[in-house]
């Protein structure tokens, strides 16, 4: 068996993705996928706590975020490409199936990867965003549609970029309202806005019209935990409650009280314990 090796990047689709590979080199692998508007740095505290439990964590800066992985045009950000990126990362590791974790848009990529390639996933932990089918049903049966108003605004060309780059109060008010701290907002301004990742991140939303209808019906067949927080202004409880209907394996819904959307930073210790429990039960 080949000895494990650290990776700092991986290649896919003509793109080069940056990766943070930390923790015990011989530890069980956990892949952590970030969301919008953040980079892999959002997982720092959770990853550190997982290291203390013996896990090796792999955290990529995803498509649109890594400086050498920012293709032009929204079609390059469709779901199939996001899944293919994750598959390429796992195959680059050569460590067999991994424990896959995703927050926000990273959760969508994680749900889809686990559904399409269960051979590469030992367990799945999704944070905040449910299965795409559950999300759509929640939009039709709860206040989720109202909560998701920003997704429709993000479909507009150039205007969201203009507002978020040129009108600092828009960014501050929007993110403060979701529960982000001033330090987190400054990191978004530095890494995403000034760092050149804003259009790439928005293109994940702009590629939503290309989602194949089959993705709304695909089922997950690996042990899964979905984490939802009652302070999340973007995701309804109804969406979380529906997520389990798309899992044909051991499933648990974890509800965090008094926590905003930004779970990996705000409740890192709790989230690390949940990931560990899901991984151990799937072993």
What rounded mean pLDDT belongs to the chain?
97
The reply to whether 205 falls in a domain is yes
Rounded CA gap, 231 and 184, in Å? 17
The reply to whether 4 falls in a domain is no
pLDDT at position 110: 98
pLDDT at position 16: 98
pLDDT at position 283: 83
The reply to whether 195 falls in a domain is yes
Number of C-beta neighbours around residue 96 at 10 A: 12
- Say how many domains are in the chain: 1
Number of C-beta neighbours around residue 125 at 10 A: 28
The reply to whether 102 falls in a domain is yes
Whether 30 and 98 have beta carbons less than 8 Å apart is answered as yes
pLDDT class for 151, splitting at 50, 70, 90?
very high
The reply to whether 165 falls in a domain is yes
The pLDDT tens digits for 200-254 are: 999 999 999 999 999 999 999 999 999 999 999 999 999 999 999 999 999 999 9
Instruction: Indicate the pTM of the whole model.
Output: 0.98
pLDDT class for 96, splitting at 50, 70, 90?
confident
Rounded CA gap, 134 and 111, in Å? 11
The reply to whether 60 falls in a domain is yes
pLDDT at 1 over 90: no
pLDDT at 65 over 90: yes
Rounded CA gap, 188 and 122, in Å? 32
Mean pLDDT of 177-186: 97
pLDDT at position 95: 84
pLDDT class for 280, splitting at 50, 70, 90?
very high
The reply to whether 59 falls in a domain is yes
pLDDT at 17 over 80: yes
pLDDT at position 3: 78
What is the domain extent for residue 186? 9-282
Domain harbouring 271, CATH code: 3.40.50.1820
Rounded CA gap, 259 and 267, in Å? 7
pLDDT at 24 over 60: yes
pLDDT at position 268: 98
pLDDT at 185 over 70: yes
Q: Which residue has the tokens 């293709």?
A: 71
pLDDT at position 230: 98
Comparing 2-6, 124-128, 197-201, the range with the smallest average pLDDT is: 2-6
The reply to whether 116 falls in a domain is yes
The pLDDT tens digits for 45-63 are: 999 999 999 999 999 999 9
Helical (H) or strand (E) element with 53: none
């Amino acid at each position: 068996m080949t000895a494990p090796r650290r990776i700092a990047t991986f290649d896919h689709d003509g793109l080069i993705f940056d990766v943070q590979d930390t923790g015990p080199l011989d530890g069980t692998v956990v892949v952590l996928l970030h969301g919008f508007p953040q980079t892999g740095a959002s997982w720092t505290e959770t990853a550190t706590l997982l290291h203390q439990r013996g896990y090796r964590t792999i955290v990529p800066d995803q498509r649109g975020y890594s400086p050498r992985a920012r293709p032009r045009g929204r079609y390059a950000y469709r779901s199939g490409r996001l899944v293919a990126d994750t598959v390429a990362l796992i195959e680059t590791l050569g460590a067999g199936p991994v424990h896959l974790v995703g927050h926000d848009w990273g959760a969508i990529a994680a749900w889809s990867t686990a559904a399409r390639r269960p051979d590469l996933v030992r367990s799945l932990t999704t944070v905040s965003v449910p299965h795409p089918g559950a999300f759509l049903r929640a939009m039709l049966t709860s206040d989720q549609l109202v909560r998701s108003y920003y997704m429709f605004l993000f479909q507009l060309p150039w205007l969201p970029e203009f507002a978020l780059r040129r009108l600092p109060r828009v960014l501050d008010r929007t993110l403060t309202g979701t529960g982000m701290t001033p330090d987190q907002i400054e990191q978004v301004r530095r890494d995403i806005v000034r760092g050149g990742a804003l259009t790439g991140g928005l293109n994940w939303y702009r590629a939503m019209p290309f989602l194949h209808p089959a993705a709304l019906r695909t089922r997950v067949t690996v042990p899964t935990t979905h984490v939802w927080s009652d302070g999340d202004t973007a995701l309804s409880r109804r969406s979380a409650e529906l997520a389990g209907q798309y899992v044909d394996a051991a499933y648990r819904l974890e509800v965090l009280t008094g926590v905003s959307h930004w779970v990996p930073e705000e409740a890192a210790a709790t989230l690390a314990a949940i990931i560990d429990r899901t991984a151990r039960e799937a072993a």
